Amino acid sequence: MDRDHIRNFCIIAHIDHGKSTLADRIIEMTGLLTSREMQAQVLDNMDLERERGITIKAQTVRTVYKARNGEEYIFNLIDTPGHVDFNYEVSRSLAACDGAILVVDAAQGIEAQTLANVYLALDHDLDVFPVINKIDLPSADPDTVAHEIEDVIGIEAMDAPRISAKNGINIEEVLEAIVNKVPAPDGDEKAPLQALIFDSLYDSYKGVIVFVRIKNGTVKRGTPIKMMATGATAEVVEVGYFGAGQFIPCDELSAGMVGYITASIKNVRDTAVGDTVTNAENPCKEPLPGYKKVQSMVYCGVYPADGAKYPDLRDALEKLQLNDASLFYEPETSVALGFGFRCGFLGLLHLEIIQERLEREYNLDLVTTAPGVVYRVHKTNGEMIELTNPTNLPDPSEIDYMEEPVVNAEIMVTKEFVGSIMELCQQRRGRYVSMEYIEENRALIRYVLPLNEIIYDFFDALKSRSRGYASFDYDLKGYERSELVKLDILINREEVDALSFIVFKDSAYERGRKMCEKLKEEIPRHLFEIPIQAAIGGKVIARETVKAMRKDVLAKCYGGDITRKKKLLEKQKEGKKRMRQIGNVEVPQKAFMSVLKLDNE
Amino acid sequence: MNDAGMIYVHIPFCVKKCDYCDFVSGVCEKNVQEAYFKALKEEIVKRSESAPDKRVGSVFFGGGTPSIVDAGRIKDILDLIRVRFEIEDDAEMTIEANPNSVTSDKLKVYREAGINRISIGLQSSKDDELKTLGRVHTFKEFLKTYDLVRTAGFSNVNIDIMSAVPGQTLDSYHETLKTVATLNPEHISAYSLIVEEGTPFFERYKDGAGLPDEDTERKMYHDTESILKEYGYERYEISNYARPGYECKHNMGYWTGRRYMGFGVAAASYDGSGRRTNTEDLNEYIGGNWERETIELSETDKIEEFMFLGLRMTRGISKSGFKEAFGKDIYDVYNVQIQKLKDHGLIVESGERIFLSKLGTDVANTVMAEFMF
């Protein structure tokens, strides 16, 4: 089919505004799948994604639409991840498209993520057209939302299709809009191959499957290819396009098309998202713009609860990484927790997803340490180290100064909550940038925030202070100099490496005190008194005491009680087995993680 | 009492359930009681048929409040037990009674039926504390009951008292202790209140507010031993005190691994290899579905029980007893644990026996949990 009849597009929306449901309807209406074959939300095919209602990996599907003008069009719908952690993946997916459907909830209107994604799409020169969804809701107000879209984003919205993806209302209007408003791709089949990698996944039969948008040239079986950034080379084994949930081989992919390439590549790290695939023997002059090496934003220690499961954890991480090049890990040893890994993630959601997958899909019990960001430590000898594990902080006498990552944050919130949201940002060391009212009742607040202030529970705090209405988006701004210290925790006068963390100097006392209080709750009483101390460089700044156990005895135990009392003792013993020994103190695994949630209490 | 077995009969009826009580018991209509006793008799008859060893060294009627039902019913049950089992001449025959629920006529029937020990639930000599506990009697009413019991000729009497009651002070508890000891019962059970889930007390006191604090509670516990000692009582188990020779044989049986058959709703039995529990559902029990489950005990189960039950007793466990029961040396099984607990001063090894130290008694669960596999 010629390029004029191809439409490469994506759907962008705030979380829960109905992106995946609309995608389902499009796939359904274009007839590639019967209704019976449809699982609810075809695109989100990881269980976890379906449960959380978010898209983690970009999914792509090719369908055929017979338009009202009687001609058939190929639709390549490229689904984009819906979370700020995966911003880079989003940008690469967008770069593979020529247009974007902006889905806006008819009741909720524009949200922070909507804006962020629209701007990202406009940055990529995509033609964006809006769709107003959920018109069936009683609180739907499509007119107001249309005005809002025009006022805030500045794109035509009065003729936007008003639909209910859930109930299949007016979906055909969307399909016609795709034909008429998304431009056909351009490019030159005869030019040297130039293809953008927007995703890849590992398949145990085919090896790595590379998702590409062909910008120029042609690729087919036998083409020698080269990844321009990683330098990896291979010979193409198969090319094809994306059926819903399956790979359909074809003869060749040429300029303007979206499809996949397999080439017996063993490792997704060789096919980095954003890299350019070219013909190894007839390379293009320049790679496509925008490639970035994926960098971990958040690090934490991941340990098996049962030390004997270390090899299982390693295998699981290895397998997960096959499909997730953005997951980083390296072996690490902790005095308190034994053998484990320091893992790097794109953000806290990414961390949570990996943790859940390890526990759920690989059946592992994990202990994770407090997540931290990457600090830059400038030493007096001129050397700079990137610190991912607080324990590795050099001696203070060797440190000249330190820097921490900061983000540009955009928060959208209704008028009544502006005060409390600003207060929250101030508490988190935010630097006010600007505030504007995007409509009478809603403000867009911009702050520069240190990343380490938002990785724990910022999102929860935001939600609870705005009764769930605030939406939030951020991107990395860079590094800024900051007064940071390492806070150590001592249990019964022994320093516990797994509990150390880096903190802003002025917040150290507060956090130290909260840590001690929390640990006091978590550590069971022993036969002796246990001091819990927070210290900076050997100087104790906060202290709590777990009092010695005075009483642990059952007054009664007669014939009828024996079974029940025995269970109680067994449970007590079992609980002890699951504890970590710090000196002569038994610390529950839970204690290492509960200290992550210190705020809001 | 050689190696004869024991019998426990559960009478799940009360005038009113106390606010701290988590036993299977409650207030019931006469006709339910009638049906219950019918089922009880059927269970006794049926299960006695398959009992390999019919010798019985003690019988215990517990509840609930066994003394609120017609004494004739108790006598009926005892008569049946005598027919179906072989009661030893020196058997201990106990019934639990609450103040106000016994009359001299009832006591006379008990005597005739062969009951020779009465356990009276008093809990406190302070009326305000009795009220807090949700008891249905005053101290004065208890005194009357106690007098009736003595007058009826019972020469082995236990009085239950309770410490760590909400609102109780060290002084008021001391007074209860001394008042009770002055009455000169043969046996005193002094329990520290346990706030059990599922009781009205749990809702009221689960966070500990209103209860004597831990230091006071421990002082009450330690003072119990020292004060009662002045009156000639020895502590022989975590919560039990007796004049020499009056230790409760029945309860000692539980702690030394003796066989017992429990009849009635929620009653437990142990035949030397399996522990059986009856249903806790009164209707189900009356309907003839007595048994809920039987759990066969493994060798390790038995070893664990030998330790944690034996250590409840002041005299502790016997090393030769261990070897006799399990055919191996206790050090082959528990060397590490014994050393560790000795080092921490939680247990004492003295000649043939190992027992809890004073500190070990305060944290008995911690000690016992060490012996669980």
Q: Tell me the whole-structure pTM to 2 decimals.
A: 0.70
Compare all CA atoms of chain A with the CA of B305 and give the residue at the minimum distance.
A566
Whether the CB-CB separation of A531 and A490 falls below 8 Å is answered with: yes
Cβ contact A563–B266 (<8 Å): no
Q: Is the bond into B64 cis (omega within 30 degrees of 0)?
A: yes
Q: Are A434 and A446 in contact (CB under 8 A)?
A: yes
pLDDT at A48 (0 to 100): 47
For residue B234, the one-letter residue type is E
Confidence category of residue A601, pLDDT binned at 50, 70, 90:
very low
**Shortest distance, CA A408 to any CA of chain B (angstroms):** 45
Inspect the interface and report whether the beta carbons of B267 and A560 lie closer than 8 Å.
yes
Asked whether the predicted pLDDT for residue A261 surpasses 90, the reply is yes
In terms of average pLDDT, the best of A35-39, A236-240, A316-320 is A236-240
Q: Average the pLDDT over A342-346 and give the result.
A: 92
Average of per-residue pLDDT values in chain A: 86
Contact B365 A568 (CB under 8 A): yes
Give pLDDT tens digits for B27-43: 878 889 999 999 999 99
Check B214 against A550: CB less than 8 A apart: yes
Side-chain half-sphere CA neighbours of B223 within 13 A: 20
Interface test with chain B among A528, A553, A561, by most B beta carbons within 10 Å: A553
CB B61 within 8 A of CB B7: no
- The pLDDT of residue A321 is 83
Site from B222, B296, B372 to mutate, A interface, most A CB atoms within 10 angstroms: B372
CB contact under 8 A, A562 and B217: no
Q: Please, which residues 280-339 of chain B have a Cβ atom closer than 8 Å to chain A?
A: 295, 304-305, 308-309, 312
| φ/ψ (deg, to 5) at B236 | -120, -10
State the average pLDDT over residues A49-57.
Answer: 45
pLDDT reading at A228 higher than 60 = yes
A40 touches chain B (CB under 8 A): no
d(CA A579, CA A338): 13
- pLDDT, one tens digit per residue, over A516-535 is 999 999 999 998 999 999 99
Q: Is the pLDDT of residue A112 over 80?
A: no
Q: What is the mean pLDDT of residues A167-172?
A: 91
Mean pLDDT of A344-365: 87
To test the contact with chain B by mutation, choose from A525, A546, A557 the residue with the greatest count of B C-beta atoms within 10 A, namely A557
A529, A530, A535 from A541: Cα distances, Å: 19, 17, 5
Write out chain A residues lying below 8 Å of B270, CB-based: 559, 562
Per-residue pLDDT at A269 = 81
DSSP secondary structure letter of residue A341? E
* Segments of A154-237 assigned E as strands: 194-203, 207-216, 218-220, 224-227, 233-235
Contact B275 A551 (CB under 8 A): no
Q: State whether B363 and A552 contact (CB < 8 Å).
A: yes
The CA distance from B113 to B74, in Å, is: 8
> How much of chain A, in percent, has pLDDT values that exceed 90?
49
Is the CB of residue A548 less than 8 Å away from at least one CB of chain B? no
**Min distance B45 CA to chain A CA atoms (Å):** 21
pLDDT digits (tens, 9 = 90+) for A374-422: 999 999 999 999 999 999 999 889 999 999 999 999 898 888 899 999 9
Output the pLDDT for position A31: 62
Residue A79 has what pLDDT? 78
**How confident is the model at residue A32, as a pLDDT?**
60
Q: Shortest CB distance from B366 goes to which of A552, A555, A559? A: A552
The tokens describing B130, both together, are 């009795």
Q: Determine the topology of domain B5-254 in CATH.
A: TIM Barrel (3.20.20)
Closest residue on chain A to B302 (Cα):
A566
Is residue A463's pLDDT more than 60? yes
Query: Domain B298-373 belongs to what topology?
Result: Arc Repressor Mutant, subunit A (1.10.10)
**Which has more pLDDT, A307 or A486?**
A486
B351 to chain A, closest Cα gap in Å: 26
- Is the predicted pLDDT of residue A53 greater than 50, yes or no? no
pLDDT higher than 50, residue A50: no
Q: Which residue in the set B218, B269, B372 is minimally distant from A570, CB to CB? A: B372
In this complex, do A557 and B254 lie within 8 Å of one another by their Cβ atoms? yes
How many contacts, defined by CB atoms under 8 Å, are there between A and B? 94
A578 contact residues in B (CB cutoff 8 A): none
**Residue A49 confidence (pLDDT) above 60:** no
ipTM: 0.91
Q: Which of A492, A518, A513, A517 is nearest to A503 (CA)?
A: A513
Judged by CB atoms closer than 8 Å, whether chains meet at B215 and A527 is answered as no
- Residue A556 is nearest to which of B239, B275, B277, comparing CB atoms? B239
- For the segment A159-170, the average pLDDT, to the nearest whole number, is 92
Token digits for A303? 């340990």
**Alpha carbons A199 and A268: distance in angstroms, whole number:** 9
| Beta-carbon contacts of residue B47 (< 8 Å; ≥ 6 apart) | B261, B263
pLDDT at residue number A380: 95
CA distance B265 to B283: 9
pLDDT at A113 over 80: no
A563 with B277: Cβ contact below 8 A: yes
Q: Which residues of B touch A562 (CB under 8 A)?
A: 254, 268, 270, 275, 305, 309
Taking a contact as any Cβ pair under 8 Å apart, which residues of chain B between 121 and 150 contact chain A?
none
CB contact under 8 A, B254 and A552: no
Nearest CA in chain A to B255: A558
Residue A509, H or E segment: helix A508-522
Inform me whether the pLDDT recorded for A34 exceeds 70: no
Residues of chain B with pLDDT under 70: 1
Q: How far is A526 from chain B (nearest CA, A)?
A: 9
Does residue A597 carry a pLDDT above 70? no
Top mean-pLDDT range of A138-142, A556-560, A577-581, B117-121: B117-121
B45 touches chain A (CB under 8 A): no
CB atoms under 10 Å from CB of A361, counted, come to 14
Predicted local distance difference test score (pLDDT) of residue B124: 97
| Residue A51 backbone dihedrals phi, psi, to 5 degrees | -65, -45
User: What are the boundaries of each domain within chain B?
Assistant: 5-254, 298-373
- In terms of C-beta density within 10 A (0-12 exposed, 13-18 middle, 19 or more buried), how is residue A567 classed? exposed
> Could you say which of B8, B362, B368 has the minimum Cβ distance to residue A551?
B362
Record the tokens describing residue A592, joined without a space.
């290492």
B66/B113 Cα distance (integer angstroms): 14
Contact A562 B305 (CB under 8 A): yes
Interface contact flag, B262 A570, Cβ < 8 Å: no
CA atoms of A445 and B267, how far apart (whole Å): 68
Q: What are phi and psi of B195, to 5 degrees?
A: -85, 105
